[in-house]
Amino acid sequence: MHSSKLFKIIESLSNEDWKRLNRFVLGHEGVIEEVLNLFNYLSKYKKKLDSRQLNIHNAHQNICPKKTRKHFRNIMSRLTKVLEDYLRWNWLFQHKQEYDLCLLKALNNRGLYHLFDLKASQLNTKLKKSSSTDIWAQLQILTISHISFFSNNPIKSIKGGQLLMSLSKSLIHFTGNLSSFYRGVLEYYGEITNTDFSDDLKRLEQISNNEHSTDISATLNHLVLLNRNKVPQSFQYLYNRLTKEENKLSLEIRAAILTSLIHYAYEEYKSGSSNTANEILALNEYGITSGLLLVNQKINTTRFVNIVNAACACGRFDKAEEFIEQYNSLLEPGIRKETIQISSAQILFYQSDYSTVIDLLKDAYFHLFMHNMRVRWLLICAYFMEFRQEIEFMESMIRNYNGFIKTNKDKMSLSNFKASMNLSNVLRALLKDPSKDRLEKELNEADEIVFRFWIRNLDIF
């Protein structure tokens, strides 16, 4: 049952959902006695979703032991359809404007035009207050105008020209801003996936809103400038816009802005700008607390480790430890322990406790390849700091490190492979010529390198 559609829906339900569901199921026309019994059975064991009691055989024996398995599966299907109806209703219930829009369509369909006009006027007033920052409010205004004009509503004979003008203006605003939004997203994904979207971008630019007369059009223009031209002013504008006025922007736009800001800040950080470490930390924490960076209330382990790394890079070891303590429960249970271990090792590394890092990681092996990769980065640097006077030993360690990187090249992005190889190249060069001039030369020649900020600040000369 754990792999069934029914179970997957059940698993996603919150305590609030269960409270609403009890009333919803009882009033649903598709609920017969056996469907209700199955619902009550699942409700009883909802806190034990991994229990052996939650399998098809046991559920079958509890609900209808004298009926066939096919009959029981039909009961499961009927309950699934009831729960799907609940999901539809609950989504509308939580999105008031969409809920009201459904009512407008129902009133129009029944020919209740006077009631439609009253409700449309009220909803339009609400939507116009947020339309300068929310493209979906613009779409809803467009939809209301469309329903009013393309129906038998008598208001068309009185205000037909006005309705059509409103419809045209709403269409221009919505399509223009949506095109600008897509341009910003395409610029971002084109870079990180090395995909050529130039033809699509040219077509979108022709219909984008270039007036920037409203908050949303100006915001989306900055999103395009940040991802296409790396404009620092656009970073600052969007950073302030997101963190100070986030509730006025739609979820999709907030997510796109946050992702673009983090990417820009990381690229600046990797190029040697330590100032962006604090911004990386602030943006990621905002993403976690707002839920924008969580998937099913869980945080990606690579992001978790990178946030700890950013905190360490700007000397906020207290913040790094606090982050691990506060947010480790958001990690998937199967990789939580190793993620905490490698995050803690990063703190020790940036505190220059290299011997402890070696003791902690030299025999470590983790489930995730990227964790094992990070172990290699940390160890080769820690060994360098502890044993750089022992040239033969370090040459051997670097050969082993390079062998691991080359063997696992197919498991890495091209960017990570180059950055990893450049790390060993720089360390090997410093073994032969431990001078600041040599370090600067190597860093200038390496477009991508692991731990650039740490290397740039090496205190070995």
Neighbours of 166 (CB within 10 A): 19
Range in 44-53, 287-296, 404-413 the model is least confident about: 44-53
Based on the fold, state whether residues 66 and 143 are members of the same structural domain: no
For 238, 280, 290, 366, the CA distances from 293, given in Å and listed in that order, are 17, 13, 8, 24
Could you say which of 67, 94, 121 is where a domain stops? 94
Which is more confidently placed, 97 or 400? 400
Residue 206 lies in a domain: no
Residue 367 lies in a domain: yes
Residue 401 lies in a domain: yes
Residue-level pLDDT at 7: 81
Nearest CA to 456 among 438, 33, 145, 173? 438
Dihedral sign computed on CA atoms, order 301, 457, 355, 387? positive
Based on the fold, state whether residues 51 and 115 are members of the same structural domain: no
What is the number of alpha carbons within 13 Å of residue 126 lying toward its C-beta? Answer: 14
Identify the H or E element spanning 82: helix 69-94
Residue 76 lies in a domain: yes
Based on the fold, state whether residues 430 and 365 are members of the same structural domain: yes
Based on the fold, state whether residues 67 and 117 are members of the same structural domain: no
Residue-level pLDDT at 144: 92
Mean per-residue pLDDT, 382-394: 95
Residues of the chain above pLDDT 90, percent:
43
Residue range of the domain that includes 89: 5-94
Q: What is the mean pLDDT of the chain?
A: 88
Based on the fold, state whether residues 49 and 84 are members of the same structural domain: yes
Structurally, the chain folds into a number of domains equal to 3
Based on the fold, state whether residues 60 and 148 are members of the same structural domain: no
C-alpha distance across the termini of the chain, in Å: 64
Based on the fold, state whether residues 70 and 162 are members of the same structural domain: no
Alpha helices in 151-300 (DSSP H): 155-193, 198-207, 215-229, 232-245, 251-270, 276-290
CB 291 within 8 A of CB 257: no
CB 398 within 8 A of CB 424: yes
Based on the fold, state whether residues 132 and 82 are members of the same structural domain: no
Residue 77 lies in a domain: yes
Residue 254 lies in a domain: no
CB 285 within 8 A of CB 306: no
Identify the H or E element spanning 429: helix 414-432
Based on the fold, state whether residues 385 and 413 are members of the same structural domain: yes
Range in 150-164, 238-252, 305-319 the model is least confident about: 238-252
DSSP code of 435?
A: -
Which is more confidently placed, 102 or 11? 102
pTM here is 0.72
Residue 436 lies in a domain: yes
Based on the fold, state whether residues 116 and 89 are members of the same structural domain: no
Could you say which of 62, 94, 126 is where a domain stops? 94
278/421 Cα distance (integer angstroms): 27
For residue 2, pLDDT over 60 is answered with no
For residue 1, pLDDT over 50 is answered with no
Could you say which of 155, 181, 207 is where a domain stops? 181
Based on the fold, state whether residues 385 and 458 are members of the same structural domain: yes
Residue-level pLDDT at 52: 54
For residue 53, pLDDT over 60 is answered with no
Range in 40-49, 107-116, 200-209 the model is least confident about: 40-49
405/400 Cα distance (integer angstroms): 9
Based on the fold, state whether residues 72 and 119 are members of the same structural domain: no
Reported confidence tier of residue 274, pLDDT bands at 50, 70, 90: low
For residue 56, pLDDT over 80 is answered with no
Residue 341 lies in a domain: no
Token reading at 414 = 């091209």
Residues of the chain above pLDDT 70, percent:
95
Residue-level pLDDT at 130: 81
Residue-level pLDDT at 461: 61
CB 259 within 8 A of CB 290: no
Mean per-residue pLDDT, 319-346: 94
Which is more confidently placed, 40 or 133? 40
